[in-house]
A = this chain, B = another copy of it.
Amino acid sequence: MKGDVMPHETDQIDRVALSVDVVLLSVVDGRLHCLAARRAAAPHRGRWALPGVVLAPGETLQHAAARALETRAGLRGVFLEQLFTFDAPGRDPRGRTITVAYYGLVAADAILGELEAGDGASEVALAPVDVDWPGESGGPASLLDDSGAARTLAFDHADIIGLAVQRVRGKLDYSTIGFELLPAAFPLRDLQSIHEAILGRELNRDSFRRRMLASGLLVETGERERDTTYRPAMLYRFAAEVPQPPTPRTRKVRP
């Protein structure tokens, strides 16, 4: 190969048609939920599936993901980020299909007006997410029904949801996606509850508080909770401006 010319082979490229599926996550009552709908047509009729659309000509993937949420659930302005492109040959019994998966995060109070959470009778619902794998190992996820049993998922959507959970877990610590799941003002307890629901484990209250307050990402609103039966907590909001990232120390001389 040495010295060969290496032409870029995308010189003659076909028009592509792709689908986009969205894993919309929200935390309701301290539990992680995912938007899904029962399929009305074959294949996998009656199984639960993620909202998805076929990519329209000239449409960006990001736009298609937003369109899927707006068309299916009436949601606009939701945080959306690309997750992974799934292309396993047997993933669709009708033939080879490739889907670009996105994940979205939305505050519970912004979606509960549009849908009934966990309503097993409805054909579009937020269903509790259950992952079997511990830690960071990854794997497929299940969506539960009212009785706590796993709903049967269509296609490879169990894998897609599982990867979305894994991705969000990984980004929770070093990004600000956690705030997408909360209203504009929130007490620290709710922020911790969101983190615990996503991570699937309890967090230390003291160090969580310390870490969050030290991150510089929170600003006191001056407001406090209302109508509590206990001491009302300070409400915080997300600080849009990111503080300077702490550069890791390296070989500094001791004073």
Asked if A74 contacts B15 (CB within 8 A), the reply is: no
Give the Cβ gap from A57 to chain B, nearest Cβ, in Å: 8
Tell me if A73 counts as interface (CB < 8 A to partner B). Answer: yes
Interface size counted on chain A using CB atoms at 8 A: 73
- The interface bits of chain A over 3-32 (1 if a CB of B lies within 8 angstroms of the residue's CB, else 0) are 111111111111111110000000000000
Return chain B residues, CB-CB under 8 Å to A37.
4-6, 8
Return chain B residues, CB-CB under 8 Å to A18.
16, 18, 98
Asked if A1 contacts B251 (CB within 8 A), the reply is: no
Asked if B174 contacts A3 (CB within 8 A), the reply is: no
Asked if A123 contacts B5 (CB within 8 A), the reply is: yes
Tell me if A228 counts as interface (CB < 8 A to partner B). Answer: no
A97 contact from B2, B10, B116, Cβ within 8 A: B10
Return chain B residues, CB-CB under 8 Å to A84.
82
Asked if A248 contacts B97 (CB within 8 A), the reply is: no
Asked if B1 contacts A74 (CB within 8 A), the reply is: yes
Please give the residue numbers on chain A whose beta carbons come within 8 Å of chain B beta carbons, in ascending order: 1-19, 37-41, 44, 49, 51-54, 57-58, 60-61, 72-74, 82, 84-85, 87-89, 92, 94-100, 114-116, 122-124, 135-137, 154, 170, 174, 201-204, 245, 247-251
11 A-B pairs (CB sep. < 8 Å): A1-B72, A8-B52, A11-B41, A13-B19, A16-B96, A16-B97, A18-B18, A85-B100, A135-B245, A203-B250, A204-B250
